[in-house]
Structure 1
Amino acid sequence: MALSNLKTFFKQEKTYLYFALAIITLWVLPYFVLLNQAHMRIQDNLDSNISWYKVLNDSGQLFGSIHANIPQIINGHLSRNAYYSEYYGIIELFRFFPPVIAYGFNEAITRFVAFFGMYLLLKNYVIKNGDQGIIRVAAALTFSLTPFWPSGMLSTLGMPLALWAFLNLRYRIKMWQSWITITLLPFYSTFMLGFFFFLSAMGVFWLIEVIKTKKAQLRLFFSILYMTLIYLAIEYREVVSLLFSHEKTNRSEFNESKNNLMVTIELVFKNYFLGHNQDQTFYPFVIFPTALLALILVIFQKRWRQEKLFIGLHLANFLLSVWYSFWWYDAWEPLKQKISILNTFNFSRYHYLRPMIIYILFAVSLQILWQFNKKWRILAVLFALLQVAVLVPSNEQIYYRHSPSFGQFYAVKEFNDIKKFIHKPVQDYRVVSIGLHPAIAQYNGLYTLDTYNNFYPLSYKHEFRKIIAPELAKNQAMRDYFDQWGGRCYIFDSELGNHYLFSKNSSKVIKNLDLNIQALKQMGGDYILSSVPIKNANENSLQLQKVFNSKDAYWRIYLYKVI
């Protein structure tokens, strides 16, 4: 390529924008084409949230009072407040569209907003030079393609847009656009699982600005307060439950600060390089080497003072991993036992800031390479393209291609056959599941005694524990998993462990199931749905009714009646 053509290529920012938008469109298109054959994340998604939206819509309690319960789940002991607020955008998507279409729209909204938010932040405040448009677009594109927790919506990927808006308000730029941004973002993100950490960090930024300028910076202060109040109004259910409910929940027994010092230090570096499953950044493969090379150049050129942002991003990125890791250090536990909110609220989640920080760091690192030498500009572009290539396998249709599709997972036809066979109104009997997630039965309208929720009565957890006590006694890891967390209120079996994906092709068999069937009966349990055969069913007062096997389902379901 001639030098003049290369210069022209580097200046075509609008072309890069169109190209980036086309890539994002292709990224989310499969949901709308494949529909029920689309693949998607299972953990904290298909096994929970997607089913919750359907249960909530079917319950008639979407707009229920703060005292309402969900009859379908755990004998009606699950509070309506355990589910998302009716004012969340994702709730409305699942209310008005078929599930996979709603999911696809959520992916599209989140990724396009993430792209434009990061692009605007970089263009206005970080990478301002006109000839570096390719860096802005590439960094914004890679940021928008990172895996994210779908039900978090813009909780992490919306942070650059929010930061752009707050900086505008700080410097009196684009005022009305910024006020609209911080007004609307709370309706498509979460406070407790994202923006609490961003806004508290903005509070620190405000304080620094006050000290630096010796002015009150009231506009910035009130804009942060304004956005916080909108979140609290939207999440009124969770606020009421956390602050005013006197009933103990399963969160009261959370005991997760149990790492010794060596494990804690190991976790620092594990989190630093690999991140958390809800905010993956694919940092170590391209971004870390790029940032390290840029750091070497800064040291070589003695540009410490000129690159304060670059150095600050490096430090913030590492310190957030330190904070996350030491939150689980066992030395915290005595204090957590005395101050309940330290157990009921996970303050380690400042790591949600890392995706934004890491991709700004990536952009600044590319800029340093770009400015070092004209020949290095091609290297900067190459690193950007490599990061796109690294992210491609994270697309859900590729990453989860060996997992059940949406339709296979929820197996609607198979469960319709089960309901027809039982031939009773679903509200007249209760089921539990073994070897598959209770969310599947819940999605199909069955009333379940088991569930996956982080907020349900502690008394129910203790009552349910009686059913699985004999199995928990066989396996300490499984016992600790339930007793010290209990979010998965499942029928655990020591032979299966914490595994819930046994397909119809599995050869796994439960040989020595040991349940307290009397406790199951007392709670109203009538049927067990198992994805594997139970050899000693008779010893557990279980009678095999029928085996269900649909070609469109991932599972072979063994229906056992409690006798």
Structure 2
Amino acid sequence: MPAASRLRTPLAGALLGLLLFLLPVLLLQERSYVLIDDNLDVELTIPYLLTRHHVALDYRASTVLAPIMNGLPRNALRPGLSATVLLFGLLEPLPAYWVQQLLVRLLGLLGLYALLRRHFLPAPAQRRLVAGLALGWAVLPAYTMYGLTVLGQPWLLLAFLNLRRGPARWTDWAILAAFPLWSMFVFVGPFALAAGAALLLLDWARGRGVAWRAAAGLALLTTSYLVVEYPMFYSLLVAKQFTPHRLEFDLSRLGAPGLRAGLLSAGRYFFMGQYHASQFFRGAGLLALAVAGWALWNRRAERGPLLELLTGLAGLALFCGFYPQFVELVQDRLPLLRAFNLSRFHFLTPLLWFVVLALSLRVVPAGRLRAGLVALQLLIGLGMNTEWTNNLRELAGRPRPTDPNYAAYVAPALFAQVQQRIRQQTGLPPAAYRVACLGLPPAVAQLNGFYTLDSYQNNYPIEYKHRFRPLIAGELAKSAALRTYFDAWGNRCYLFSAELGKNFRVGARPPRVVQDFAFDAAAFRRLGGRYVVSAARLATPARSGLVPRGEFGARTAYWHLYLYEAPPKS
């Protein structure tokens, strides 16, 4: 095929659309916006620190990651056999993040294109439709720090369906073996395996026999996850290195109780999904289904799979919506349900909704209506992708005041001032003292070379949580909301202030003053702490056992910082 002709193919157009989607990042570079919540405030630091401290592949029970929580057990963190860790080992955090995003979205586009062309929309005349859907999939809001966990699922489903239907190719086996190298087991592994097993059982119940190749594929996927996630399985199940803080989770205390709350939550899961697993309005799929409804009424063979999918999606939404109430009933008898979140089946629903959309569009006549439905899905994905919309605002010179770009958020020059002040006063490098942060995520300090006692972690020793609590017990006593937030969850093992509430991003403007900070400086010192880096000024630091050591600002930084020391009692 001539080069000019190849550029006119629908797939080439979709690839060009993806490049245009990522163009703002190339133009902004350091000034680009990176999703902050549950992402820049936690996820970017881990692979970066694992590689910079040379412990990515060190799975010994004694190995710790020193900059986090006074030495967080290495095996509490993501595995070293990971494409994400490799990228962060080769590049600095921001380039690594955007290269990962480019690759994940590119593979997501190609994966959905291959899946739809092979199994759902195979006709040559449907290539434009498939390319449009693939681009709509690739631009969805997604936590790409999770690798292929969500956007890479089409490859997983493609390989499984190929093995189930036959004949299979070596590439199908390779996909199943490689998928764990770039995905998060706790978010997708058990749930994809359970869904695949359920489909095979359904085939058997309907008299179609067992697709042994597909069953072997699931076994291969399981084996690969066991190899990749060896540190987690070994530390929790064999060596029992530490007791996870997750065993104190109490989801029933974190959510609103009752039938109404469960139904509202189920409705959000059904119509919007969950933000970690790509949150977008399912309107295009529902509208396409409504448009196709009359034609599907007389086509039982095509109506059946759609009804089954919708029933499954509705059932999953109800299960996820009422999951906290369910856990409340059984958590005392099954403590592991506190630690392992079964509601993460919702990570499978974005792809299932795209299958619903594709199957519905298959019976909608080609033309403006069908193209309009694909365009609607594309616009929904773009409009709900906050990274993309915030980067457009950054380019237009109208950024949101509460959503700083990467350079302003990480603010290396500002944190370098803090480090230099401490070095001038003590002569100590960052590894020789420990800090904790108030009003800003500890991940920012960690990215700037500080060693922090506080952190945002999905898994850490419960013993450390208990040792940290006395530092903030006075503030927790003031606020029932913060007390529940820490005691019933505790992933954010932070310095809390009842006056700041859950504002963990206190910007320089407007300046904030904490009038009364009930901080246990003695407990802080016993844990190894020396300095508090605060984004809010303390009105009476002496009452907290702290001494002011400096104030720092920078025109381009999001933060205005105050440094306090907890000196030992003489």
- When the two structures are superposed, what TM-score results if normalisation uses the length of structure 2? 0.91
Amino acid at match of 1:247: F
Match of 1:536 among 536, 540, 548: 540
- Is 1:234 aligned with 2:228? yes
Distance 1:236 1:274 in 2: 34
Match of 1:396 in 2: 387
Q: What residue in structure 2 maps to residue 306 of structure 1?
A: 302
Q: How does 1:222-371 map to 2 (within 5 A)?
A: 222-244=216-238, 245=240, 247-258=242-253, 259-299=257-297, 302-329=298-325, 331-370=326-365
- The 5 Å alignment of 1:127-166 reads 127-166=121-160
TM-fit CA distance, 1:438 = 0.6
Residue 322 of structure 2: SS of its match in structure 1? helix
Distance in 1, matches of 2:368 and 2:167, equals 34
CA positional deviation for 1:487: 0.5
* CA–CA distance in structure 2, aligned partners of residues 527 and 483 of structure 1: 25
| CA distance in structure 2 between the partners assigned to 1:336 and 1:181 by the alignment | 36
Q: 1:164 Cα shift?
A: 0.9
Match of 1:188 among 179, 182, 194: 182
Kept after mapping to 2: 8 A contact 1:40/1:397: no
What's the RMSD between the two structures over aligned residues? 2.0
CA distance in 2, matches of 1:310, 1:254: 37
Query: 1:559 & 1:459 partners in 2: Cα distance?
Result: 28
CA distance in 2 between counterparts of 1:13 and 1:385 reads 21
Would the aligned equivalents of 2:296 and 2:302 in 1 still touch at CA under 8 Å?
Answer: no
Deviations 1:245-300 (A, max 9, x none): 1632211100103432321111111211121111224234433322233235534x
1:52 to 2:46 alignment? yes
Q: Does 1:385 align with 2:375?
A: yes
- Cα contact 1:510–1:535 (8 A) shared by 2: yes
Distance 1:495 1:354 in 2: 39
- What is the identity, as a one-letter code, of the residue corresponding to 1:392? L
| 1:27–1:395 contact (8 Å) kept in structure 2 | no
User: What SS does the aligned partner of 1:473 have?
Assistant: helix
In the TM superposition, residue 323 of structure 1 has moved relative to its aligned partner by 1.6
Report the equivalent of 1:8.
none
Kept in 1: contact 2:69–2:452 (CA 8 A): yes
Matches within 5 A, 1:423-442: 423=423, 424-442=428-446
* Whole-Å separation in 2 of the counterparts to 1:454 and 1:179: 31
Deviation at 1:368, TM superposition (A): 2.2
Name the TM-score, length of structure 1 as normaliser: 0.92
Is 1:503 the equivalent of 2:532? Answer: no
CA positional deviation for 1:395: 5.3
- Greater shift after overlay, 289-298 or 495-504? 289-298
TM-fit CA distance, 1:318: 1.5
Q: Residues of 1 paired with 2:479 and 2:295: CA distance?
A: 53
CA deviation map 1:431-459 (0-9, x unaligned): 11100001111111111111111211111
The alpha-carbon distance between structure 1 residues 304 and 171, as it changes in their structure 2 partners (threshold 3 A), is closer
1:268 is matched by which residue type in structure 2? A
Correspondence for 1:4: none
The Cα of 1:198 is off from its aligned counterpart by 1.0
Q: Could you tell me which runs of 5 or more consecutive residues in structure 1 were left unpaired when the two chains were aligned.
A: 1-10
d(CA) in 2 for partners of 1:89, 1:212: 40
1:558 aligned partner = 562
- Mapping for residues 19-98 of structure 1, pairs under 5 Å: 19-67=13-61, 68-76=63-71, 78-98=72-92
SS in 1 for 2:468: helix
Q: What is the CA–CA distance in structure 2 between the aligned matches of 1:280 and 1:65, rounded to whole Å?
A: 32
Alpha-carbon distance in structure 2 between the residues aligned to 1:365 and 1:305: 13
Preserved CA contact (<8 Å) 1:468 1:516: yes
CA contact (8 A) 2:273 2:350 kept: no
For residues 408 and 219 of structure 2, the distance between their equivalents in structure 1, rounded to whole angstroms, comes to 45
Query: What is the CA-CA distance between 1:543 and the residue it aligns to?
Result: 1.7
Matches within 5 A, 1:387-536: 387-393=377-383, 394=385, 396-399=387-390, 401-402=399-400, 403-423=403-423, 424-536=428-540
Distance 2:430 2:185 in 1: 35
Identity of aligned residues (%): 29
| C-alpha deviation, 1:345, in angstroms | 0.9
Question: Where does the alignment leave 5 or more consecutive residues of structure 2 unmatched?
Answer: 392-398
In terms of mean alpha carbon deviation, does 157-166 or 352-361 score higher?
157-166
8 Å CA contact retained: 2:236, 2:242: no
CA apart distance, 1:35: 2.4
Q: Are 1:190 and 1:231, in contact at CA under 8 Å, matched by a contact in 2?
A: no
Pair 1:306–1:334, CA change in 2 (3 A): closer
For 1:548 and 1:83, locate their aligned partners in 2 and report how far apart those are by CA, in whole Å.
33
How far apart, in 1, do the equivalents of 2:221 and 2:60 lie? 23
Secondary structure at the counterpart of residue 103 of structure 2: helix
Supply the distance in 2 between the matched residues of 1:344 and 1:66 (Cα, whole angstroms).
Answer: 23
- Secondary structure of 2:251's partner? coil
Is the CA contact 2:382–2:388 (under 8 Å) kept in the aligned structure 1? no
In the alignment, is residue 103 of structure 1 matched against residue 97 of structure 2?
yes
Contact map agreement 1:13 1:133 (CA 8 A) in 2: no
**Cross-structure match for 2:394:** none
CA contact (8 A) 2:516 2:539 kept: yes
